[in-house]
């Protein structure tokens, strides 16, 4: 590893600061008598180891004398040239001794170390007080190595660019349909650096082949406008101090012992003074050794820096903008600043087409070398937030309604009884569904009963509500216009328009009334009278002035934007005011005094009836379970005064249904039962069907008929093993003729016991049937026995049903329903 030698940079600095003229000081000579011809005669030196030559005669002013090898010489000059007493020399090789002979003596000038030049050398005094004239000069020197160097300076200029793109504004909030202009600014920044190079060669020779070896080189450069020194070095040992590229060539004819190349590369970014440097000097301090001797010398070369760079890159900056169509949209030239370019957006941003982030990029390129380029880019983003105006509306209809009510009271009558009455006062069609399907509704009913009999009356109470009139039709509601707080719409006109569109194709305009506009809403209300109950829709529309903004946010009107509300449905529901909407429904049973002996009462059917109503009523209608008020009609109600031969044996049972409205009006409908008990005024009575008798026993479910007491419900029926009551309720499964005949037989017996006259054929059929049952079980008969039973049942059935004999007793549909008929 090379050792650091601190004297090297000091030497190089000294070399840079030295003058290019003589730098060795003059020395005092030593005078010797006699003549002097050879360096081998140097007093006190002995054998001279170097070289030496004599001019042989007085030197000629300006004459060059060789030092023994080509290129090595010494030149003598007199000072002044007009005399020959004082002489100087300039040599390519340092001189160790210079001997000046004049007169009968000589002066020896000894230079240690040797010098390459000196002036005012002279010979000894010739006795006149002045040096004798120079007769000849001998110069002695040790051959030393020489150094030569070159220094060439060049520089390159590199300019790097950066780019910044901004948008004004960069955040936009506007309403849909509005537009906003944007200005873009592209700012380019140039950073210029100058790269300087001072380079050359250093050549070290041993021109006399004297055996010198180069051991170190320190190359120092200094610019003329700054104290900074820059150095490179080389040592024979190598290592970390070798910053010069040096090599020792093989022995050669030019006696070169060391070749070096060097280059100083400096940037103005690190050394700003370089930008104004015009040149400087480069000096090499060289050390050579020989046989333990060390010799240090220098070689220097000036350099100059041209005003213009040898190469220049990045002198221009070409910008392409992604928003603009040209391949180069703008160009900046170095030194022509400011480097700022502002342009407007070709097309303004609009809502809603440009909602969100709108980004564009400016890209600049510049040269970085003969065939290379670099680029820089920057983007500007404009954030566009679009708002809208929303319109909503409501529609509430109103109207008044007046109702009409119709009460309807009917008696439910069986088909057989309806036929007896000739269908007078009865509806043409039977009841279609329900418990009383197949029966008829009649206004006035003739009922025929036996003495002691009863009729389980069934009424249908109905009230029908219809609309009598409707008026005061209208619609009203609210219109709400709203928008976000970060926008401020301007409406023209300031209030919305409102249009009603009806289902029949007609329309009607409405003028709303609006409150003062707030920061985020406009509230309006409307109300309109309508000509009728027409359905349709109602829609409100408001018109906004569209705004076109410049880049500074200044707005100008540029059209209109319309906003429509929802289609609010105009549909009429319940009326606002209802007259006679609800009524009280009451019923009065047998309430006309003096018509009969039965008990009458009134009751509330519906305390608040608000819709059409229909109900079948029978049995106990009092809501209090502790009170039974039956609607059944009894034959016993016949006034005694109306009984007897030639009298009517008839009485009426009226029933009135009444509606009372809220305005004090009332309506009613009456249904009347005309009850006849012919048995009390003439012979014959009437007959009931088997359904009547099976339901009117003491086991019910219909009211008890005392006729049963004459036979007894629990009496065994012949050999059947069953009571009369059980036989009545045993169906004739599979057409069992035993039970078919038994049912008609028991009904006929009870009808006779109740007072109905039996014709001869009926009386005979009753007797034959009794004989047929005697000793027979309830097993289904076959053959002639069955045929006999069926024939007798037919005769008795015709009697029981009133087809023969005194006629049919009226039977309530409730009774028939209980009997399963």
112's tokens: 């240690």
pLDDT digits (tens, 9 = 90+) for 690-743: 988 999 999 988 888 899 999 999 999 999 999 999 999 999 999 999 999 999
Please report where in the chains the tokens 């030698």 appear, as a residue: 5
Q: Which long-range contacts (CB under 8 A, 24 or more apart) does 75-82 make?
A: 76/137, 79/119, 79/120
pLDDT of 75 reads 97
Cβ(326)–Cβ(345) under 8 Å? Answer: no
Sequence-separated contacts (24+) of 66-72 with Cβ below 8 Å: 67/91, 67/92, 67/93, 67/141, 68/208, 69/207, 69/208, 71/207, 72/207, 72/208
The CA–CA distances, whole Å, from 385 to 408, 497, 547 equal 71, 28, 15
pTM: 0.56
Q: How far apart are CA 284 and CA 160, in angstroms?
A: 36
Q: Which residues of the chain have pLDDT under 70?
A: 1-25, 240, 420-424, 594-595, 619-628, 683, 821
666's CB contacts (< 8 A; 6+ apart) are: 658, 659, 660
Task: Kindly report the CATH number that applies to the domain delimited by 400-468+580-680.
Answer: 2.70.50
* 198 contacts: CB under 8 Å, gap ≥ 6: 151, 152, 153, 221, 263, 264, 280, 282, 303
Max alpha carbon distance in the chain (Å)? 223
Q: DSSP letter at 808?
A: B
Decide: 806 and 800 in contact? Cβ < 8 Å.
Answer: no
Closest C-alpha to 570, from 515, 508, 617, 519: 508
* Residues 461, 440: Cα–Cα separation, whole Å: 14
Whole-number Å distance between alpha carbons of 297 and 290: 14
Using alpha carbons, select from 764, 766, 761, 760 the residue that is nearest to residue 742. Answer: 766
Instruction: Measure CA of the first residue to CA of the last residue in the chain; give whole Å.
Output: 140
Would you say the C-alpha torsion 206, 212, 217, 221 has a positive or negative sign? negative
């Amino acid at each position: 590893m090379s050792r650091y030698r601190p004297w090297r940079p000091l030497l190089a600095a000294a070399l840079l600061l030295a003058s290019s003229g003589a730098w060795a000081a003059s020395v005092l000579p030593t005078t010797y008598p006699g003549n002097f011809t050879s360096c081998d005669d140097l007093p006190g030196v002995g054998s001279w180891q170097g070289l030496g030559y004599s001019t042989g005669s007085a030197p000629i002013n300006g004459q060059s004398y060789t030092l023994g090898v080509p290129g090595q010489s010494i030149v003598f000059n007199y000072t002044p040239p007009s005399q020959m007493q004082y002489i100087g020399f300039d040599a390519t090789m340092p001189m160790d001794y210079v001997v000046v002979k004049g007169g009968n003596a000589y002066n020896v000038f000894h230079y240690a170390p040797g010098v390459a030049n000196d002036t005012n050398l002279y010979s000894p005094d010739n006795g006149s007080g002045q040096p004798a004239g120079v007769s000849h000069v001998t110069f002695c020197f040790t051959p030393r190595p020489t150094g030569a160097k070159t220094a060439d300076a060049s520089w390159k200029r590199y300019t790097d660019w950066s780019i910044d793109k901004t948008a004004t504004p960069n955040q936009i909030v506007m309403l849909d349909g509005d537009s906003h202009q944007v200005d873009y600014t592209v700012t380019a920044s140039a950073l210029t650096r100058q790269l300087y190079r001072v380079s050359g060669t250093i050549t070290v020779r041993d021109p006399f082949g004297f055996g010198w070896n180069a051991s170190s080189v320190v190359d120092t450069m200094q610019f003329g406008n700054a104290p900074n020194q820059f150095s490179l070095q080389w040592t024979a040992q190598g290592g970390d101090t070798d910053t010069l590229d040096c090599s020792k060539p093989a022995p050669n004819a030019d006696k070169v012992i060391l070749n070096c190349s060097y280059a100083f590369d400096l940037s103005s970014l690190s050394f700003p003074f370089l930008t104004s440097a015009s040149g400087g000097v480069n000096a090499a301090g060289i050390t050579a050794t020989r046989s333990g001797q060390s010799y240090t010398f220098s070689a220097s070369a000036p350099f100059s820096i041209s005003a213009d760079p040898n190469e220049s890159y990045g002198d221009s900056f070409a910008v392409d903008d992604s928003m603009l169509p040209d391949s180069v949209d703008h160009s900046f030239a170095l030194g022509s600043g400011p480097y700022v370019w502002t342009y407007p957006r070709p097309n303004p941003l609009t809502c809603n087409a440009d909602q969100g982030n709108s980004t564009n990029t400016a890209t600049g390129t510049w040269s970085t070398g003969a065939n290379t380029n670099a680029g820089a880019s920057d983007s500007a983003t404009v954030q566009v937030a679009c708002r809208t105006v929303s319109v909503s509306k409501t529609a509430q209809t109103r109207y008044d309604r007046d109702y009409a009510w119709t009460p309807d009271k009917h008696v439910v009558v069986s088909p057989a009884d309806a036929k007896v009455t000739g269908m007078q006062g009865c509806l043409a069609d039977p009841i279609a569904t329900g418990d009383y399907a197949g029966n008829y509704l009649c206004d006035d009913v003739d009922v025929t009963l036996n003495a002691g009999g009863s009729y389980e009356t069934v009424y249908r109470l109905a009230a029908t509500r219809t609309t009598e009139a409707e008026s005061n039709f209208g619609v009203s509601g609210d219109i709400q216009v709203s928008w976000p707080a970060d926008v401020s719409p301007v409406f023209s006109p300031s209030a919305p328009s409102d249009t009603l569109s009806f289902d029949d194709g007609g329309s009607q305009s409405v003028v709303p009334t609006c409150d003062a506009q707030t920061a985020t809403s406009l509230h309006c209300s409307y109300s309109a009278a309508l000509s009728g109950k027409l359905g349709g829709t109602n829609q409100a529309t408001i018109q906004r002035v569209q705004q076109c903004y410049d880049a500074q946010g200044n707005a100008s009107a540029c059209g209109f934007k319309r906003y429509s509300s929802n289609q609010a449905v105009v549909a009429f529901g319940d009326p606002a005011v209802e007259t006679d909407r609800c009524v009280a429904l009451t019923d009065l049973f047998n309430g006309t005094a003096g018509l009969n002996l039965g008990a009458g009462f009134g009751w509330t059917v519906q305390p608040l009836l608000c819709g059409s109503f229909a109900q079948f009523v029978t049995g106990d209608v009092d809501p209090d379970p502790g009170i039974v008020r039956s609607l059944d009609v009894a034959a016993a109600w016949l006034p005694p005064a109306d009984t007897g031969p030639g009298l009517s044996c008839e009485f009426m049972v009226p029933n009135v249904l009444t509606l009372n409205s809220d305005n004090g009006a009332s309506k009613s409908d009456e249904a009347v039962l005309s009850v006849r008990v012919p048995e009390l005024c003439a012979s014959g009575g009437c007959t009931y069907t088997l359904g009547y008798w099976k339901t009117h026993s003491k086991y019910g479910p219909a009211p008890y008929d005392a006729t049963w007491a004459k036979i007894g419900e629990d009496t065994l029926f012949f050999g059947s093993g069953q009571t009369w009551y059980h036989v009545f309720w045993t169906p004739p499964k599979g057409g069992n003729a035993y039970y078919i005949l038994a049912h008609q037989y028991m009904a006929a017996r009870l009808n006779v016991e109740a007072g109905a006259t039996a014709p001869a054929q009926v009386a005979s059929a009753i007797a034959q049937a009794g004989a047929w049952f005697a000793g027979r079980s309830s097993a289904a008969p076959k053959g002639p026995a069955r045929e006999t039973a069926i024939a007798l049942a037919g005769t008795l059935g015709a009697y029981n049903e009133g087809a023969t004999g005194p006629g049919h007793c009226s039977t309530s549909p409730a009774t028939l329903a209980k009997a399963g008929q």
